[in-house]
Chain A
Amino acid sequence: MSLTEKLESSIQKKAEHPIGHLPVVEYSSASALRNPAGLLMEIGVELWRCRGLAWVLFHRDLMAQYRQSYLGYLWIFAPVLTTVITWTFLTSQNIVQSFDTDIPYPAYVFVGTVIWTAFSAALTQPLASFTAGSAVFMKLKVAPEAFILAGFGKLAFDLTIRLLMLVLVCILFEVAPAATAPLVLVGIGLATLLGGAIGVLLIPIGSLYGDVSRIVGMVVAFGMYLTPVVYPVPAAGWSRTLFEWNPMTTVVLASRDWLSHGIGPHVPAMIAIAAASAMLFFVGIVLLRVFLPHLVERMGM
């Protein structure tokens, strides 16, 4: 069928399409929250509908990212390796006191860093994806969730590569995995969920004010040292309290236990963190939808 024929047939179809069957939307100053069921329905439909677009965007970013680079996938685990090398160097040379860890120290740092990076990348990715996609959805009616989903796709891809590295590191340092080792995946998933939930919640204010992404960057850099990533939880003092209040402490400790010991004492806390993160994530997605027209309006100027 030629192009003109296709057009003609589509014109025919349109003519046969009575107006009564068409969807109707109304825009006014009324809040989207006045009809919560409708809002949730809209979010559900949009998320389902944008999955194809999210996949295409994910694919686009992945290809574009590595096409311009010689070292390619190395950049995914280079930051993790840097942390491991830095801290192994610092402790082995006694510049920093060495820590008593139950698995070889480099492996210990590697596990911690992989989990921490899952959290910190998930924390910064939603706002970064939203900002990068804003050029498109400020002009066209496209679900911004597609860009955020594509960002999570990228996180999942990076994590897969790092997990493969983790397996290599465990073999290299002869870490005997426990039967619960596959649960490390749950730990990483939870770190991503928690980071992602906070990240999505930060989108509205972060898209308006550039300060937010800078503050997040600083908090993430400092937060790593309030989490048992490169050293264990301090035995006492107010720093211990800080560690204990940090949910990522639980996630990292539980994941390390699962890797080399067994189920450990952290399961109830992990379930609580998972529930809270899921709820935060949901609230973030809903708020983003409600605030979106205002963000588009103000970002567009």
Chain B
Amino acid sequence: MSNAEHKPDIRGHRLDEDELARNFGDLHPPLTRADALIEADRCYFCYDAPCTTACPTGIDIPGFIQKIRSDNLRGSAHTILKENIMGGMCARVCPTEVLCEEACVRNTHEEKPVEIGLLQRYATDPIFDEQTPFFSRAPATGKKVAVIGGGPAGLSCAHRLATLGHEVVVFNRDNKPGGLNEYGIAAYKAIDDFAQKEADYILSIGGIELRNGETLGRDFTLNHLRESYDAVFIGIGLGSTNKLGLDDESLPGIDDAIDYIAELRQADDPGRLPVGRRVVVIGGGMTAIDIAVQSKRLGAEFVDLVYRRGPEQMGASLYEQNLAQTNGVTIHHWARPVELIGEDHITEIRFERTELDDSGRLVARAEYFELTADVVFKAIGQILDLSVLGADMTGLEFRHDRIVVNETGRTTLRDVWAGGDCVSGGDDLTVTAVQHGKLAAIDIDQHLRKK
């Protein structure tokens, strides 16, 4: 094909409304009561259950399933939410296939675990629909804590601090709370504005002041907060995205996947979003899968996902890889982008094949191929934007450009805690961020009560 003839074909409304509605409806429809009871019956009620051990927030999974079985749904939801206040979102977005469901003992002989994620959603949905209050606040302590970031880590921390009797102010960069739950999750995983329902529920505990649109480093600094609050929790996620490191990376048509996903999540009508006919995604994590599948579901004709290593090394689980493939995404392994081609818009991208050498290092093979592209999405990971911390970084320790904390989220500054994606040693999962926020809140509480 001649590059000169290739004009970018990028437009919205590739599919009719009905098809879009189907494509952006619930990825996994909720269980009916009949389904849930049968599925709950499959749980063996294990002793010291492996699923609970595998859950980063330690939800008593056999316990909540037992309560589904006895039609004690409110009790079931409470069992979930007391360990994980975002149990509703986690039921939707957790890679259960590598967490609780991977640990399910049913895998041993039948390779079909109990559908824990779907059961968790079944138990918690009514609570968020009806905003059933479960939690009350301990007597006021008179202490004030600043939480930077309104994502899973920040909201989880704020909720637990509020229940423990502290006053909390959440400084949230965005216009809505929820962080990546609101802006970063594929649309079909959290339909019907669920992230906001969940945030509303969390905030309804009281004692949490949410300040939207206030950004660290622009509107306030860490040191300001340390002066006026008894403790500070940093849950700012990762502010910026990795670069390909190639020439012409600013060519029109080359976009960050997370920006597009955020736009799609905020769009009332997904059909409005322009989508390329030929889309190439670079990366191997959940975001790569999300952008690839969503592009396909918006009507892209060809979606190629290219990852420099093999399927086992992909950050996306095997389940997610299968999801991409059944949605018509072509996954190419062992190739890295080496050249972005186009005059005033991306038209083609050249890849070089890769392999592992004898010592296990990734090396290029000097074999090349090209993919035609109207749009290229970069989904090669995010990094912590250290600039927002500015001069206040003094005293904080970093490892691989992330904040170092101990097991309860304490940083090297005695009144500062941190959690979620911005800390070192995490796995970039919502459920882990929730746990970080929870553990930090418990530690902050103990610290403040000792003072």
**Chains A and B come from one and the same complex:** no
Point out residues on B near A: beta carbons under 8 Å. Answer: none
Contacts from A to B (Cβ < 8 Å) = none
